[in-house]
Amino acid sequence: MPSKLKILIVDDHAIVRDGLAAILKFQKDMTVVGEADDGQAAIKKAQELQPDIILMDLMMPNMNGTDATSAIKRILPNVQILILTSYGTSADLSRAFRNGATGAITKSLPKEELLSAIRNVASGTRVVSPEIEQTLKEEASTPSLTPQQFKILHSLTRGLSNNDIAREFGLSKAGVKFHLLTIFRKLNVANRTEAVGLASRKHMFQE
């Protein structure tokens, strides 16, 4: 490990990047080698700067943190990526870990815990803040839907009627009703209102 950890900060908000850089510049074992404001810029900066650690925002324009993580890990398999997020959807966080992230923490974490998380992921240790751990556990407790059922549930969150769903998926009205009842049973809800509410709480269709 080098004498100083080379860190790349990736976030679409300049004030967040400045705040992180201000904290890290006082650490004797860390140095900020660069910044990027979206996932695409992060890939280019990572190739150019060869950082040891990337502090990666989750939700960004052009390319989000999960996709950037996947691309960067293919190019630089040894880089450690720590996701920093204001909020985390279970789907996005799970994908980030599948794509190679070493850890994920909330941006509200105290400075000392942020620095500890950076040092831990530097050694390859998985770090997850309690709020994010709970989000991941909630996702694991959600019964799995088939791809078509997932799309139909998404249609419900978009406000489509049974007739709309029938036209969109080429189903009969009876077929739509069968799929909806199956979805409700799997999600342990009584009706479409409860299903939409559950999908919203779990951020299942976060853009």
Q: Would you give the DSSP letter of residue 99?
A: T
Residue where the block lists tokens 């990666």: 56
pLDDT band at 1 (very low <50, low <70, confident <90, very high): very low
Q: What is the CATH number of domain 5-139?
A: 3.40.50.2300
The percent of residues above 90 in pLDDT, for the chain, comes to 68
User: For 137, what's the count of Cα atoms within 13 Å in the CB-facing half-sphere?
Assistant: 7
Q: What average pLDDT does the structure give for the chain?
A: 89
CATH code matching the domain that covers 147-201, chosen among 1.10.10.10, 3.20.20.10, 3.30.30.10, 1.10.1740.10: 1.10.10.10
b/e code 22-60 from CB counts within 10 Å (16+ = b): eebeeeeebbbbbbbbbbbbbbebbeeeebbbbbbbbbb
Alpha carbons 62 and 40: distance in angstroms, whole number: 7
Query: 76 is written with which tokens?
Result: 């630089």
Query: 117 is written with which tokens?
Result: 């998380």
Q: Average of pLDDT values for 18-40?
A: 96
